[in-house]
Copies of this chain bind each other. A is one copy, B any other.
Amino acid sequence: MRATLLYGAGDVRVEEVPDPVIRQPSDALVRVLRSCICGSDLWPYEAHNGRPVRIGHEFLGVVEEVGADVAGLRRGDVVVAPFMYADNTCEFCAEGLHTSCRGGGMWGAGDVDGGQGEAVRVPQAQGTLVRLPVGEDAALLPSLLTLADVFPTGHHAAVTAGVGPRTTVVVVGDGAVGLSAVLAARRLGAERIVLLGRHKDRTDLGVEFGATDVVAERGAEAVARVKELTGGRGAHAVLECVGLGEAMDTALRVTRAGGTISRVGAPQYQQVSFGGPAFMKNLTLTGGVAPVRAYIEDLLPDVLEGRVNPGRVFDLTLPLAEAPAGYAAMASRTALKVLLHP
């Protein structure tokens, strides 16, 4: 079959790789219908150095075969996979923290397939895959694919920041995760959502997703503008959806005393300025890698019934063979998020 491989900085190739086969009785084989490129794929895309590695961690497909221990799934089921696999039975999964599953792991790591390919061997298939009540040609496939990562990641930011009705929310970043965080915050009832982003086409979608205010300024000017919008206080809930130190600094500075910063952008920083000033303001810093599997059942009905349309973050659709062009488009910010089909 064909799959993406990351050879080096800026060098993604689609090549023949071995067809996946069932290795463990807990495995399943999934033929991929849709996969996509994540903002977090751009970090290794821009920096990879070493032997070629499989890449991609968001996919939706059809079950082709299941191992002997896999119950509840059968050939022909349309399924979505969270961006990490998990057994859904360990103590961490029981707490909703599937990203810390002792039996879980990352797509593309070791001998595990990446998500950008024609098929995937899914470890811990019973715990990992979620059946979708749709056909292979459903118009909803893009929105359903966002359940693999981007929509529940935005949801994780909103949930861990305690967003609800009457919360004033600031979302830092107008990438696909930031826009998903806007959508998630709106879905949870937030009435005031301030989106920080400089790309008008993206912030326009953010407004359609529920942002009530857009701040296009950066740094100190952005902080001043948010303060102006929040009576000088800042926001109770700040969702950091970028992962750069500069974004985190902005997030800290627009948080109200007693407020919470939740970060879901993969950190490209090691340290956070969280000394005396944050202490005196009783700030809380939370979030992290989203335990997507814990959220899918909660989010699925709203997607199926069209109350939310998170698939609108895809603004470029390419065949798998053109994945390299998709990476280039996202890296140059000419595409927001790229959908891939076989």
Contact with B along A107-124 (1 / 0, CB 8 A): 000000000000000000
Q: With A and B bound together, what is the CA distance between A95 and B257 in angstroms?
A: 10
Is A289 at the interface (CB under 8 A from chain B)? Answer: yes
Given A271-B272, A280-B289, A283-B286, output 17 extra A-B contacts at Cβ < 8 Å. A97-B257, A100-B282, A160-B282, A263-B279, A266-B276, A267-B274, A270-B273, A271-B271, A271-B273, A271-B274, A278-B288, A280-B288, A281-B288, A282-B288, A284-B284, A284-B285, A285-B285
Q: Are B289 and A266 in contact (CB under 8 A)?
A: no
Q: Mark A88-115, 1 if CB is under 8 A from B, else 0.
A: 0000100101011000000000000000
Q: What residues of B have a CB within 8 angstroms of the CB of A271 in the complex?
A: 271-275
Q: Does A291 contact B (CB under 8 A)?
A: yes
For A275, list chain B residues within 8 Å (CB). 267, 269-272
Is there a chain B Cβ closer than 8 Å to A258's Cβ? yes
Query: In angstroms, how far is the closest chain B Cβ from the Cβ of A287?
Result: 7
Chain B residues lying within 8 Å of A274, measured Cβ to Cβ, are 267, 271-272, 274, 285
CB distance from A339 to the nearest CB of B (A): 26
Are A279 and B291 also in contact (CB < 8 A) when A97-B258, A258-B92, A285-B285 are? no
Tell which of B100, B269, B272, B282 touches A97, judged by Cβ atoms closer than 8 Å.
B282
Check if B279 sits within 8 Å of A289, measured CB to CB.
yes
- Chosen A-B contacts, 27 in total, with CB atoms closer than 8 Å, are A92-B257, A97-B257, A97-B282, A99-B280, A99-B282, A100-B257, A100-B258, A160-B284, A263-B279, A266-B279, A267-B274, A267-B279, A269-B275, A270-B273, A270-B275, A270-B276, A271-B271, A271-B272, A271-B274, A272-B272, A272-B274, A272-B275, A282-B286, A284-B284, A284-B285, A284-B286, A285-B285
